[in-house]
Amino acid sequence: MTEGLVSIITTLYDSGSYIGRTIESVLSQTYTNWEMVITDDCSVDNGPAIVEEYMKKDSRIRLLRLAENGGPGIARNNSIRNANGQYIAFLDSDDMWKPDKLEKQLALMDKTGCGVVYSSYYTCDENDCITGIVKSRCKVPYWRIVCDNAIGFLTMMYDRKVTGLVLMPEIRKRQDWGLNIKLIRKCRVAYGVREPLACYRIRTGSVSREKFPLIKYNVAIYREILGYSKFVSVLMFTFVFMPFYFCKKALNYFQNIFGGR
């Protein structure tokens, strides 16, 4: 582990149309002590070739390849295992960061001594047009992350000196929520920057776009990460997760209407 180094964990799968803009947002960071560890999950487009061109220009960018498609959890874990940094941050291959994202979050970590930080973020469409804003809470205690994933994964960063090296659950979907639970279970609370520091792209065909098929994976988090029985897991999903989820969506909707962007 290299002190002060931020390892940016990125998965690549048929994102040739966006990966250049993602990398450019990292190259623009005001905090420059970083490495970008990209794992290609068997892309069939020109995404890997684009990454290789950036690697020629900046040695902080690395490209790893999986022998077979494993999904986001397995690909992210491959990057995490090959990371050298004290800090682990996540940025998917179609999302973007604001230039001061790392600087402001590291300052919050230094101020609070916490092991996990996150921020608000914008949403955008496939043409980079801002469509909304998701405002973060000031802090997320352990009980809250169990109710529903209250942290935008593209904004999350954790400190290995506080939490140790923590891997994602290797399920096909909702592994981001599973990791957040595992991390906050260790440090009890995460802190957020209220300013939006990233942009989450909503595009057709993304793994997380369709919500209904995610139900079984939400239940799986309660079973596999929290150790609840199948019956209790279904109850938690129905009477805890769903009310929190819809309240969060409604609050965000009204914030975007009345709060502006």
Could you report the per-residue pLDDT of 75-95, keeping only the tens digit for each?
999 999 999 999 999 999 999
pLDDT classification of 207: cutoffs 50, 70, 90: very low
% residues pLDDT > 90 (the chain):
85
| Strand-pair partners of 96 | 199
| Band (205; pLDDT cuts 50, 70, 90) | low
Q: Is the dihedral of CA 68, 73, 77, 80 positive or negative?
A: positive
What tens digit of pLDDT does each residue of 187-197 get?
Answer: 999 999 999 99
Q: Give the per-residue pLDDT at 254.
A: 81
% of the chain with per-residue pLDDT over 70: 95
User: How large is the angle between the packed helices 175-187 and 72-81, nearest 10 degrees?
Assistant: 50
pTM of the model: 0.92
Phi and psi angles of residue 137, each rounded to the nearest 5 degrees, phi first: -80, 160
Window from 23-27, 142-146, 201-205 with minimum mean pLDDT: 201-205
Indicate if the pLDDT at residue 260 is higher than 60: no
Q: Which CATH class is domain 2-204?
A: alpha beta
Average predicted confidence (pLDDT) for the chain: 93
Q: Per-residue pLDDT averaged across 120-129, rounded?
A: 95
> Does the pLDDT value for residue 258 go beyond 90?
no
Quick check: 152 pLDDT over 80? yes
Question: By C-alpha distance, which of 80, 96, 226, 94 is closest to 158?
Answer: 80
Average of per-residue pLDDT across 217-226: 93
Is the pLDDT reported for residue 234 higher than 80? yes
Q: What pLDDT is stored for residue 206 in this prediction?
A: 54
For residue 249, what pLDDT is reported?
Answer: 82
The number of CA neighbours under 13 Å toward the Cβ of 245 is 15
Per residue in 24-65, pLDDT (tens digit) is: 999 999 999 999 999 999 999 999 999 999 999 999 999 999
Residue 214: predicted pLDDT? 79
- Asked if the model's pLDDT at residue 250 lies above 90, the reply is no
